[in-house]
Structure 1
Amino acid sequence: MPLSQDMTSDLEPGLLDALQHQVALFARRAEQTRLGGVGQVRNSMDRAAYLLLNRLDLEGPMGVKALAAGMGIDSSTVTRQVAPLVDTGLVKRTSHPEDGRAVVLQLSPRGQARLGEVRSSRRELMAQVTDGWTEEERESFCTLLTRFNSALSVRASGHQESDTPAS
């Protein structure tokens, strides 16, 4: 259940202010650097393409509707974002194995290789940014960031109850 204005009064406003400020800084810095990695691969793949390719790699071939639903975005947005990936040969459209009329999207071998390059570059960036952190600190940060992103995703998808307190 989301916090109403009244419910936040029990929480430390200074800490909430600091948290929202750090999230805003993170968003700006992430966009500035695009967290694209290091070396020649740096900033060579936009966020939308990376997320689409990554999902197709992790979950396998799927249709536009399933891809959109899994990413929490509109099918028309996925269609628009996938078009250049198909044009550049990173994604291929194939017939659904059970229903030849339906189309599924899947990573091409070129897409698989390109995603591997980008992941490697981004992994190196994460290693550099967290240099000096212990493994436990990295794990804790990843756990908390995952939890934070999940909460934002739930909120954005409308599965939250009203922002006003119950009567």
Structure 2
Amino acid sequence: MRHAPTALSKLDSEREAALRNLDPLIVTKLWDNPCWLSFRLNFIAFRFNDPVYRWIEARYGLVRPEFVALYAVGLKGGVAAKNIVASAGLPKNTLSRAIQKLLQRRLLKREADPEDLRSYVLALTPAGRAIFDETMPRMVQQQAAMLGTLTEAEQKQLCELLDKMVIASPIWPADLEPESNPS
């Protein structure tokens, strides 16, 4: 079995002691696992997403796909639904329903696409902008808490390494099974 580059046997005593505070299955999945990268990324993402999305749902009544769409439009107004789908990692039909609910709640509005008047783009309404602006500080705080264990140089290095992976992502296999060619 291939282990994470920081296999338990090579950890310093301080980190090894800290691992004792984790559930043993977490340690196995994140260190003694040939797929350590995906499990660590998912673990970290969950530790960010779970409290954030639970808080947003309780406070604003928005489920995750709805907030994903609202957040995307908040970051870059004037985007089409297809852009949100491309960036979100959620199914098209799930995001389509979420966008419809946001339009019904008047948190998003449709506007004619200035580059193609046959299409429309999405923008935040004042109520949608208020939610976006109110949630951003909490999300930034959550991220800061997670990054707080890293030095500024380590944070920069982590960002650069993740940049490289994201930029390379279009060449990764999209399917595990090669498509069969009908003869």
Give the TM-score normalised by the residue count of structure 2.
Answer: 0.58
Question: What SS is found at the alignment partner of 2:109?
Answer: strand
Which stretch has the larger CA shift, 132-141 or 74-83? 74-83
Counterpart-to-counterpart distance in 2, 1:143 and 1:41: 30
TM-fit CA distance, 1:18:
4.7
Alignment map for 1:77-88 (pairs within 5 Å) = 77-88=94-105
Aligned to 1:130: 147
Q: Tell me: higher relative CO, structure 1 or 2? Use CA pairs within 8 A at least 6 residues apart.
A: 1
Q: Distance in 1 between matches of 2:41 and 2:86?
A: 26
Paired with 2:70 and 2:142, the residues of 1 have a C-alpha distance of 19
Conservation of the 8 A alpha-carbon contact between 1:33 and 1:43: no
Identity of aligned residues (%): 23
> What residue is the counterpart of 1:139 in the other structure?
156
| SS of corresponding position for 1:13 | coil
Please, which of 31, 35, 48 is the counterpart of residue 65 of structure 2?
Answer: 48
Query: Structure 1 stretch 128-137 or stretch 43-52: which is displaced more?
Result: 43-52
SS where residue 14 of structure 1 aligns? coil
Per the alignment, residue 74 of structure 2 pairs with: 57
Tell me which residue corresponds to 2:172: 155
- Describe the superposition over 1:54-109 as per-residue Cα deviations: whole angstroms up to 9, x where unpaired: 33233321333344345566654432221122222221123334665533211112
**Residues 156 and 50 from structure 1, CA distance in 2 versus in 1: closer, same or farther, beyond 3 angstroms?**
farther
- For 1:15, the equivalent position in structure 2 comes to 4
2:129 to 105, 112, 123: 112
After TM superposition, the score normalised by the length of structure 1 is 0.62
Residues 56, 62 of structure 1: 8 Å contact kept: yes
C-alpha distance 133-151 of structure 1, shift in aligned 2 (>3 A)? same
Shift of 1:121: 0.4
Q: Is the 8 A contact 2:113 2:120 kept in 1?
A: yes
Q: Distance in 1 between matches of 2:77 and 2:151?
A: 34
What are the ranges of 5 or more consecutive residues in structure 1 without an aligned counterpart? 1-11, 163-167
Count of aligned residue pairs for this structure pair: 148
Q: Which amino acid aligns with 2:4?
A: L
Greater CA radius of gyration, 1 or 2? 2
Q: Secondary structure of 1:95's match?
A: strand
